[in-house]
Amino acid sequence: NAGVTQTPKFQVLKTGQSMTLQCAQDMNHNSMYWYRQDPGMGLRLIYYSASEGTTDKGEVPNGYNVSRLNKREFSLRLESAAPSQTSVYFCACTWGALYEQYFGPGTRLTVT
């Protein structure tokens, strides 16, 4: 039982390149989230999926797209990476609105 897994763990991109961050959970949770964490700041919500088949914008969605592929998987795509997107990205999941969120180990992304 791996919980929440994220791939890759590290990635370096050049400005303008695209990539997809993958997240998978084996906890049978309904809701999944993508956050970014920048130095000196807490986590900020990018997008979330309250249930399979739905996605919604969070606090900082610009420059990102998401896909809830199935109940287990929620991917985050950067279509044209910018240096401002250098950050650590965390995926999280929860069974429902009143339950604990469980976080993955993060993906450290650098855009040069």
Partner 1 sequence: GQQLNQSPQSMFIQEGEDVSMNCTSSSIFNTWLWYKQDPGEGPVLLIALYKAGELTSNGRLTAQFGITRKDSFLNISASIPSDVGIYFCAGQRVIQGAQKLVFGQGTRLTINP
Q: Could you list the residues that contact partner 1 (CB under 8 A)?
A: 4, 31, 40-45, 48, 50, 56, 58-60, 90, 92, 94, 96-101, 103-106
Torsion of CA 26, 28, 34, 39, to 10 degrees: -60
Bridge partner residues of 5 (DSSP): 24
Nearer to partner 1, 14 or 97 (CB): 97
DSSP-based three-state secondary structure for 26: coil
HSE at residue 93, side-chain half, CA atoms within 13 A, is 24
Q: Residue 97 CB, nearest distance to partner 1 (Å)?
A: 4
Nearer to partner 1, 59 or 79 (CB): 59
Q: Residue 13 CB, nearest distance to partner 1 (Å)?
A: 20
Nearer to partner 1, 106 or 111 (CB): 106
DSSP-based three-state secondary structure for 80: coil
